[in-house]
């Protein structure tokens, strides 16, 4: 391996510590404790783990955590009623409804019911629009984490060729917007892209957000590129065991890239850290205070 390993765990711990320090200043100077409400509908085990980890990290950073666990049979009207109560609750500055939701609930309707000022996931169309217009916004956590990780290796991204593979509203599109805001020349690739290896090869910064295990091979990567692997894929590891791999064939890519994120331990830990940072930002903005840097 010749690439520098980008240690998402350590970088996320650093960001969480910064959020904790800023939260304690907010409490001391303004008597304000940012509050994050997380809503889980149903018993999906992966979602339950995420929600537990989010709650733990929230409390550790000195923020208030409000968990709402609802039955899998919850109706859309019941969930919308809870969102409306949380929108009106002054102790709640951020609202996150864990996705996916059960089939009887229209996720988009729920996302659009959240007050954009409390939309710490950054999925509300108002925040997506503000991001794309270059206005202050609550920006989705995983994409922000990707850019923070890339900038630890190359603080000035201006002029870089960036290729984002994946165009979802939660990862691909916002990460592309953020890289554009950093003055990169951005290409967004997707399932209909012709010659994906050739497109990837152009990248100084390659962000993989596809959801296909190890799809991006080492010979698709320009020597020295920064590779940010968002993918989280569980695959068979033999003897009835499973393991997590990214969207990038790690060993091959690490032999040519300049820097690369591992899976696990790369982008994943940044998501929760950026969620805490968004909650702090939302609370500050709701109180009319400047958003912490």
In the complex, the residues that contact ligand NDP under the rule CB under 6 A are: 142, 165-168, 170-172, 189-193, 196, 209-212, 230-233, 267-268, 271
Q: Locate 271 and state its tokens.
A: 């998501």
Question: Measured from the CB of residue 140, what is the shortest distance to ligand NDP in angstroms?
Answer: 9
* Cross-strand partners of 67: 38
* Closest CB 255 distance from ligand NDP, rounded Å: 22
Catalytic (active site) residue 156: no
Least distance to ligand NDP, CB of residue 172, Å: 5
**134 phi and psi angles, rounded to 5 deg:** 75, 25
**Catalytic, out of 121, 204, 229, 247:** 121
- The residue among 169 and 286 lying less far from ligand NDP, judged by its C-beta, is 169
Residue 104 annotated to the active site: no
| Residue 145 is assigned to a ligand binding site | no
C-beta of 172 vs 284, nearer to ligand NDP: 172
CB of 8 to ligand NDP, least distance (A): 9
Q: How far apart are CA 69 and CA 199, in angstroms?
A: 43
Cβ proximity to ligand NDP: between 26 and 248 the closer is 248
Residues 267 and 228 sit within 8 Å (Cβ to Cβ): yes
Name beta bridge partners: 4. 259
Closer to ligand NDP by Cβ: residue 203 or 210 = 210
Tell me if 232 is assigned to a ligand binding site. Answer: yes
Q: Is 54 known to be catalytic?
A: yes
CB of 246 to ligand NDP, least distance (A): 8
Judge whether 85 is annotated as a binding position: no
The distance in angstroms from the start CA to the end CA of the chain is 35
The reply to whether 166 sits in an annotated binding site is yes
By C-beta, is 132 or 193 nearer to ligand NDP?
193
Catalytic residue among 18, 44, 89, 98: 98
Number of residue whose CB is nearest ligand NDP? 168
Binding residues for NADP(+), as ranges, are 166-168, 232
Catalytic site residues?
Answer: 54, 98, 121
Binding residues, as ranges, are 166-168, 232
């Amino acid at each position: 391996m010749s690439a520098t390993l980008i240690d998402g765990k350590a970088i996320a711990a650093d960001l969480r510590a910064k959020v904790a320090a800023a939260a304690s200043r907010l409490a001391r100077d303004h008597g304000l404790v940012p509050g994050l409400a997380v809503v889980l509908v149903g018993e999906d085990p992966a979602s339950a783990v995420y929600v537990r980890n989010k709650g733990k990290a929230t409390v550790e950073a000195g923020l208030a955590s409000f968990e709402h666990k609802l039955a899998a049979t919850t109706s859309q009207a019941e969930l919308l009623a809870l969102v409306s109560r949380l929108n009106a609750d002054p102790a709640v500055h951020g609202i996150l409804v864990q996705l996916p939701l059960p089939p009887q609930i229209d996720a988009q309707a729920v996302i659009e019911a959240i007050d954009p000022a409390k939309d710490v996931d950054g999925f509300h169309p108002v925040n997506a629009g503000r991001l794309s217009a270059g206005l202050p916004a609550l920006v989705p956590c995983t994409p922000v984490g990707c850019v923070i990780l890339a900038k630890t290796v190359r603080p000035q991204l201006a002029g870089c060729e960036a290729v984002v593979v994946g165009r979802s509203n939660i990862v691909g599109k916002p990460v592309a917007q953020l890289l554009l805001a950093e003055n990169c020349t951005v290409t967004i690739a997707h399932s209909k892209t012709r010659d994906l290896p050739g497109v990837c090869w152009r990248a100084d910064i390659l962000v993989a957000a596809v959801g296909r295990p190890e799809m991006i091979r080492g010979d698709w990567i320009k020597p020295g590129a920064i590779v940010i692997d968002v993918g989280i894929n569980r695959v068979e590891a033999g003897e009835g065991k499973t393991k997590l791999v990214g969207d990038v064939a790690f060993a091959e890519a690490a032999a040519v890239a300049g820097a690369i994120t591992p899976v696990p331990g790369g982008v994943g830990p940044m998501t929760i850290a950026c969620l805490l940072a968004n909650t702090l930002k939302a609370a500050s903005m709701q109180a009319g205070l400047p958003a912490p840097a």
